Structure 1
């Protein structure tokens, strides 16, 4: 991708050394999120509702909004199993929450800590802060696909999936300049995540490990 310092990569660093896909190699300036998508945060662009899987839309769930020039597309969200579908919905919201924090330029958004906890939250905060410190955001479309869900009892699950960052790009928050890098194998990232269902029924992401350029996600 041409986006930001991959959220996942950042997450891997966090899990491995107290850091954060994503998200998805922080500081990675290759075609992936490491340098990936960062759309109109603080650019004054009008925000529209973020794409979200059909998660239970209760009043206590924070609403997530994206700028009009950025979008996440989540495929394979319906398995026919109600529990797995709920896991996938909240997994998608975890990703959206991280991106919203990037757009807002704020690591203390309600959604970030609502859908992420433990190592995943710690690494996500580090990841978002990298965008803030770099004066960047992202723009474009990131596609998430090839989801696989494994349930472990009533309150634990693991989800693996791929992302295609070939159409999302880093954007300078101040100037609005977009870095449209060339699409490479690094534009594709494999994610391995762990989730736990909390007492409110929310499947929170607790850990994330990413592998940019993984062959399993290549077209």
Structure 2
């Protein structure tokens, strides 16, 4: 199977999450762990309508950490600009949360500044577990992952819910030891639906606090 396992679901999201999820359709089933037939989470840049790999470009104001990707891995986020400054900030930090998890995989360490900067609570614990499975398996990934159907619902001044789909049909598991790439054909399971909860911390960073994923979701199929 192409690409990666899904981030372990931290817990079922409620209330506004259900509203956001219905915009994409589908449910909030858990993804599996280190299983090459299962789901994934990835990283991204924070540019315009479509943004590419974040190689050494994620450092902004407020002491935000750099996030580096290798040259053979790229993530493209669609729908980065909504016209609403708050929603745009949520989407940007949601993308950087995803970035930070992939960076841990690429670096072979969960002790990175970005991982704890953009993730908190159960989402952080799940992210560490997820990345560690790659590290323990001496695996990484290569290719391109596309994120689309990104939707934001705000809840007050400090909470938000984001759903999005990922297209893993062009990204693949790669062995760090041998360099071998698993280029198995894409299937319906190459598409994953994510539902996330974010909380704005005292420094103004929208941290991902909870996440649920569903591989093969009908709403994300091409």
Q: TM-score range by the shorter chain?
A: 0.7 to 0.9
Matched position secondary structure for 2:87: helix
The answer to whether the 8 Å contact 2:121/2:210 transfers is yes
- Flag structure 1 segments of 5+ consecutive residues without an equivalent: 17-23, 39-47
Q: 1:29 aligns with which of 24, 36, 40?
A: 36
Aligned residues: 195
Distance 1:27 1:77 in 2: 29
Matched position secondary structure for 2:69: strand
The answer to whether the 8 Å contact 2:124/2:209 transfers is yes
Which position in structure 2 is the counterpart of 1:169?
172
Q: 1:74 to 1:51 in 2, by over 3 A?
A: farther
TM-score in terms of structure 2 length: 0.82
Q: How far does the alpha carbon of each residue in 1:140-199 deviate from its partner, in whole angstroms, 9 at most, with x for none?
A: 000000011000000000000000000000000111110011100000000000000000
Q: 1:150 aligns with which of 129, 153, 169?
A: 153
Q: 1:37 to 1:136 in 2, by over 3 A?
A: farther
Distance 1:37 1:201 in 2: 23
1:138 aligns with 2:141: yes
Q: 1:84 to 1:126 in 2, by over 3 A?
A: same
- Flag structure 2 segments of 5+ consecutive residues without an equivalent: 13-30, 44-52
1:30-109 equivalence runs, <5 A: 30=37, 33=39, 49-50=54-55, 57-58=60-61, 60-109=63-112
Deviation at residue 26 of structure 1 after TM alignment: 1.5
Q: 1:193 aligns with which of 196, 201, 220?
A: 196
Matched position secondary structure for 2:94: helix
The answer to whether the 8 Å contact 1:71/1:140 transfers is yes
Distance 1:94 1:25 in 2: 20
Distance 2:77 2:42 in 1: 15
Which position in structure 1 is the counterpart of 2:4?
4
Q: 1:49 to 1:77 in 2, by over 3 A?
A: closer
Distance 1:57 1:135 in 2: 31
Q: 1:122 to 1:182 in 2, by over 3 A?
A: same
Query: Where does structure 1 differ by over 4 angstroms across 4 or more consecutive aligned residues?
Result: none
Distance 2:170 2:97 in 1: 21
